Homo-oligomer: A and B are copies of this chain.
Amino acid sequence: MPISLGELAAQFGCELIGDPDVLIEKVGALANAGSGALSFLSSSKFKRQLSSTKAAAVIVRPEDVDDCPTACLVSDNPYASYAVMAAALHPAPAYEPGIHPSAVIAASAKIADSVNIAANVVVEDGVTIGKCSSVGAGTVIGPNCSIGEHCRLHAHVTLVRDVKVGDRCIFHSGSVVGADGFGNAKTDDGWVKVPQIGGVSIGDDVEIGSSTTVDCGAIDDTVIENGVRLDNQIQIGHNVHVGEHTAMASGVAVAGSARVGKRCMLAGMVGVAGHITICDDVTVNGKGMVSKDITEPGSYASMFPIEPVGDWNRRVAKLRRLDKLIERVSKLEKGDK
């Protein structure tokens, strides 16, 4: 829905440099936005795209105003301003209240009147769903789950059982929350399954990506605090505790009973071993392996970047001959050659 630049500036508290009556219809990437489009520049990295942009207006930091060839909305945090303006220009689809006739809803479920439930959804015993939430096609909500208000479960989500969800949470397709954790006791005759009895407790404003799995707790609950953002294909083991506003990129795996602090950022494919603790405000770079506690905030890494295979193989061979090199240096130190 089109909004004038003047309205955007007023509604979202930015200074406008340009014609307030220009209508913005949509957002666009700096490099290929056309007339009627709003773009943003949040990083100097993309600054060379600014001078040639055809966007109707660009959200910029104060220091970039002079380099902007079009109307500017000035913000100290252009990406965050872009986020809220984009949501206003492209509102999420509204879901009409109602339950599709093909959905199968347990008699004991308590579903607010304003909830939308799509085709082929299954809602099992003892479920509650708060007002203005919506449930996508084919999603299964297992026994004793409770979902807050204004949540969006996309198609093909599975809440297995005993999952408590706060308000304004988003679950993407293929996510599975509340399945059994990996609990196996070793015996001489093989593994004995350890019953997984706990549930999952999820705060407000949490987003869980496609094909991400969050296991139920072994005894007590697995906990995801407010404002956590999990990308796709993430694994959260049983009894993990993820602190508020922590974000994890795709492919992270956090093993059972680990505690991840608040405001942490785990980049793609990071692994976190079981039973360890990561303090608040820790960043781990892509593919890093966290195998013991991190007690100091900061950035951590453990991954070699790729090289041409020949170079890499020589490097590995040299590392493997480091023993020999150390011996040779010791000999030299002793005066041998």
Contacts and interface: CB of A to CB of B under 8 A. Distances in A.
Give the one of A119, A186, A209, A306 with max B CB within 10 A: A306
Interface in A148-179: 154-156, 158, 160, 170, 172-174, 176, 179
A22 interface: no
Contacts of A180: 170, 172
A259 interface: no
Contacts of A190: 205, 226-227, 244-245
A31 to B, nearest CB: 9
A94 interface: no
Contact of A186 (B80, B124, B235, B326): B80
A84 to B, nearest CB: 6
B155 A158 contact: yes
A305 B319 contact: no
Contact of A179 (B87, B173, B244): B173
A298 to B, nearest CB: 6
Contacts of A93: 143
Contacts of A306: 284, 288-291, 294, 300-302
B325 A333 contact: no
A260 interface: no
Contacts of A6: none
Interface stretch (A13-21, A65-73, A108-116, A133-141): A133-141
B232 A213 contact: yes
B86 A195 contact: yes
A198 B31 CA distance: 15
A286 interface: yes
B120 A231 contact: no
A197 interface: yes
A279 interface: no
A316 interface: yes
Contact of A302 (B45, B290, B305): B305
Given A28-B219, A83-B193, A245-B191, A325 B328 contact: no
Nearest to A26: B197
A6 B288 CA distance: 49
Given A190-B245, A325-B329, 12 more contacts: A77-B187, A79-B186, A104-B120, A138-B138, A154-B158, A156-B176, A172-B180, A174-B179, A209-B213, A213-B250, A235-B251, A255-B286
Q: Closest 7 CB pairs between A and B?
A: A80-B185, A104-B119, A302-B306, A122-B137, A190-B227, A182-B231, A158-B173
